[in-house]
């Protein structure tokens, strides 16, 4: 799947083996200066990334564990080992990543770390990393026997009415939502929708080729769910979600407004259909990305805090980065309060 990228991004993998088998791993990449894809500087400095301040405190080049639109750090450990052994594995992975970063004089960054990764968070702080809050993601605990049960359990009559209205109107407009169960044949159209969506919201172009959709489905099979909204034989929206151990994570949710896509298609594709599908497949947790805080909370989701951990090379850069990250955390805390 990495071969589908439009830029030659350098990938670095760290493996921890014990007893002749893989126990833990960390998937990292090099965020090089001048790369066009969304960078750690974009995440940390936002609209200020072109200022003198951001230039002086730039985290690039960086060795990054995790990805800009992922949930979780990219550092994984075998789930069924005892807690002391888990800490040992995580500590060894952090040390190896830091050693690589030191040798190459790169900032070491962990993205998308959540409150559920408590052992990793404690070990990163103990290793001298600075932390900044980032936009929270939103989690729905799927605990109903049917979508109707979820709908009836929503506390607000207005929300229930809105959901029914969105579903019915989308249906009368001829929008059909379906999963691509085989490698898709219309990759160019899917790529066009995602790329237009990225550019519409001021993001860098989608960093993968059209063949990425076929590759991810071929390699991950049922662990990836690609869903489309179609009207009059034209795909107007697409979502991509990953499944792991009973949790579904949305990594892409894109609508082509220029071709008749609408917020109704988005809400049904991103909220209603996947909840129903999670119930059918037995997925117990459904995770969506940042933003749209109030609509999501009203629909039963709860926020999950996400953090960025950074350790630049050199004491002066570490001091400046630490100060900026504290200011960033304070601002995001007020924004999401």
For 175, the domain range is 143-283
User: 250 in helix, strand or coil?
Assistant: strand
- pLDDT at residue 315 is higher than 90: no
- Residue 34 lies inside a defined structural domain of this protein: yes
| Per-residue pLDDT at 262 | 66
Residue 320, Cβ neighbours under 10 Å: how many? 15
Chain centroid to CA 42: how far? 15
* 56 and 73, same domain (yes or no): yes
| % the chain with pLDDT above 90 | 58
Position 263 scores a pLDDT of: 67
272 with 179, same domain: the answer is: yes
Tell whether the model's pLDDT for residue 16 goes beyond 90. yes
Question: Do 230 and 314 belong together in one domain?
Answer: no
Residue range 51-88, pLDDT digits in tens: 888 888 888 999 999 876 667 788 999 988 999 999 99
Q: Is residue 229 part of a domain?
A: yes
Sequence-ordered strand ranges (E) for the chain: 11-18, 21-31, 62-65, 75-77, 107-114, 130-141, 176-179, 224-231, 234-244, 247-255, 285-288, 302-311
Question: Quick check: is 292 in a domain?
Answer: no
* Residue 9's CATH number: 3.40.630
Residues 34 and 103 in one domain: yes
Q: Which of 99, 104, 102 is nearest to 26 (CA)?
A: 99
Whether residue 168 sits in one domain with residue 241 = yes
**What is the pLDDT averaged over residues 36-63?**
85
Over the chain, what is the mean pLDDT? 90
pLDDT tens string 106-142: 999 999 999 889 999 999 999 999 999 888 999 999 9
Q: What is the pLDDT of residues 210-244, one digit of tens each?
A: 999 999 999 999 999 999 999 888 899 999 999 98
Helix (H, G, I), strand (E, B) or coil at 182: coil
What's the rounded mean pLDDT across residues 188-196? 93
**In a shared domain, residues 114 and 148:** no
Helices marked H in 127-272 — which ranges?
147-153, 157-172, 187-200, 212-220, 263-267
Predicted confidence at residue 63, as pLDDT, reads 95
81 in any annotated domain: yes
How many helices, marked H, and strands, marked E, lie in the chain? Answer: 12, 12
| Residue whose C-alpha is closest to residue 110's, from 59, 159, 48, 175 | 59
Band the pLDDT of 259: cuts 50, 70, 90.
Answer: confident
Lowest mean pLDDT among 6-15, 45-54, 261-270: 261-270
Number of domains into which the chain is organized: 2
126 falls within a domain: yes
- pTM score, whole prediction: 0.90
pLDDT, average across residues 196-205: 84
Instruction: Please tell me whether residues 123 and 150 are part of one structural domain.
Output: no
Three-state SS at 222: helix
Mean pLDDT throughout 4-25? 87
- Whether residues 266 and 198 fall in one domain: yes
């Amino acid at each position: 799947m990495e071969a589908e990228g439009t830029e030659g991004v350098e990938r670095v993998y760290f493996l921890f083996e014990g007893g002749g088998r893989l126990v833990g791993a960390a998937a990292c990449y090099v965020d090089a200066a001048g790369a066009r894809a969304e960078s750690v500087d974009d995440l940390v400095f936002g609209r200020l990334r072109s200022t003198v301040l951001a230039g002086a405190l730039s985290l690039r080049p960086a060795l990054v564990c995790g990805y800009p639109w992922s949930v979780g750090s990219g550092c994984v450990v075998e789930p069924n080992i005892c807690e002391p052994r888990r800490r040992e594995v995580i500590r060894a992975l952090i040390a190896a990543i830091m050693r690589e970063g030191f040798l190459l004089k790169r900032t070491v960054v962990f993205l998308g770390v959540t409150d559920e990764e408590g052992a990793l968070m404690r070990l990163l702080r103990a290793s001298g990393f600075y932390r900044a809050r980032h936009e929270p993601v939103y989690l729905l605990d799927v605990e109903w026997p049917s979508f109707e049960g979820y709908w009836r359990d929503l506390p607000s009559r207005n929300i229930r009415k809105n959901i029914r209205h969105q579903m019915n109107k989308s249906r009368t407009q001829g929008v059909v939502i379906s999963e691509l169960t085989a490698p898709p044949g219309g990759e160019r159209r899917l790529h066009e929708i995602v790329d237009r969506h990225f550019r519409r919201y001021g993001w860098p172009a989608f960093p993968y080729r059209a063949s990425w959709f076929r590759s991810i489905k071929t390699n991950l099979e049922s662990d990836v769910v690609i869903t489309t909204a179609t009207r009059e034989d034209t795909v107007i929206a697409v979502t991509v979600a990953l499944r792991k151990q009973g949790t579904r994570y949305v990594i892409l949710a894109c609508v082509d407004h220029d071709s008749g896509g609408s917020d109704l298609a988005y809400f049904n594709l991103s909220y209603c259909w996947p909840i129903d599908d999670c119930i059918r497949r037995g997925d117990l947790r459904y995770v969506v990305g940042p933003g749209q805080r109030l609509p999501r909370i009203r629909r039963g989701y709860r926020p999950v805090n996400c953090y960025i951990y950074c350790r630049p090379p050199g004491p002066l850069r570490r001091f400046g980065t630490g100060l900026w990250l504290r200011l960033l955390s304070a601002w995001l805390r007020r924004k999401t309060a």
